[in-house]
Amino acid sequence: MTSERNAEPWKWAEATWRGHVDRVRAGARLTPDRWPGDARVAVAISFDSDHETIPLRDGETSPGRLAQGEYGARVAAPRILRLLEEHATPASFFMPAVSALLHPDEVEAYVSGGHEVAVHGWIHERNTLLSHEDELDLTGRAMDTLVKLAGTRPTGIRTPSWDFSDHTLDVIRELGFVYDSSLMADDEPYLLLADGDPTGIVEIPVEWIRDDAPYFTMDRYASLRPYMPPRSALQIWVDEFDAARAEGGLFQLTLHPHIIGHRSRLVVLQDLLEHIRSHDDVWFATHAQIADLIAPP
Ligand SMILES: [Zn+2]
């Protein structure tokens, strides 16, 4: 695949470009006619508890960069857990194994708060740089680590940075996951096809639009440092929720403790939860609960 990728794509035979497109593809939509409790919309809030693994995965070890991640565990995660408890809202926490090993008490706090803990790689590695063997090994060790620390076997995976390699779907099947949450082919959950064949794996799709990172992160050494007032993101997410509710669908959100957990930003999540809670036809669920509900038998 890699050598072909470097070749001139305008010379590819039809079978080649069709093959790439069909490798991992969206199958049937899985949105039920009605969500549990006769709810009109499902809400799945998730956090990627990356913490120090964002610099570590690139080999960056400066205490300055690591401290930004440490903030996520030290300040933001407890703050987020309190907010979720106040709003009686379950969430899914996707946590790299290295982050979980650095913060085992945090994993326990997620579990005792009634939240889901799911796989998010070993050290937030970039899957597209790995061989199939290495990706399987790291994902398997990530799974084993969370089993030990969380006390239950995760049923879901989110690839670090949503970086999905040619082997990722094979790894997901080899390790027996029920669902993935890394792809973007729909607003609604769907079945994953591999080379045209149904896999039985549920995809709970994500989008950069429903993610805090693109709005609030910056590269200190880049010339452009975009920043937007956090409450502007609130408007985007409220619109996404309102439209999902109008369509009887799913509102899924991806946040990061080290990004959203700051004082001027967590108010956005608070206001968003208040907006969602002002409707009485909402089903709050973890990603695992949604996958369990809609996965084919
Ligand atoms: Zn991440």
Tens digits of residue pLDDT in 105-136: 999 999 999 999 999 999 999 999 999 999 99
Q: So what's the pLDDT on residue 4?
A: 53
> How wide is the angle at C-alpha 209 spanned by C-alphas 207 and 214, nearest 5°?
105
- Gap from CA of 224 to ligand 1 centroid (Å): 23
- Gap from CA of 255 to ligand 1 centroid (Å): 9
Cα separation of 171 and 193, whole Å?
14
Of 166, 167, 103, 109, the residue nearest 137 (C-alpha): 167
- Gap from CA of 5 to ligand 1 centroid (Å): 26
Q: So what's the pLDDT on residue 57?
A: 97
Q: So what's the pLDDT on residue 1?
A: 46
Residues of the chain with pLDDT under 50: 1-2
- Gap from CA of 108 to ligand 1 centroid (Å): 19
- Gap from CA of 114 to ligand 1 centroid (Å): 21
- Gap from CA of 50 to ligand 1 centroid (Å): 5
- Gap from CA of 259 to ligand 1 centroid (Å): 11
* Unique residue bearing structure tokens 């006390």: 151
- Gap from CA of 127 to ligand 1 centroid (Å): 12
- Gap from CA of 289 to ligand 1 centroid (Å): 21
Cα separation of 47 and 94, whole Å?
6
Conformational region of residue 151, where left means phi above 0, alpha means psi within -120 to 50, and beta covers everything else: left
Cα separation of 214 and 194, whole Å?
30
Cα separation of 96 and 119, whole Å?
7
Query: In this structure, are residues 49 and 75 in contact, taking their beta carbons and an 8 Å threshold?
Result: no
Query: In this structure, are residues 178 and 201 in contact, taking their beta carbons and an 8 Å threshold?
Result: yes
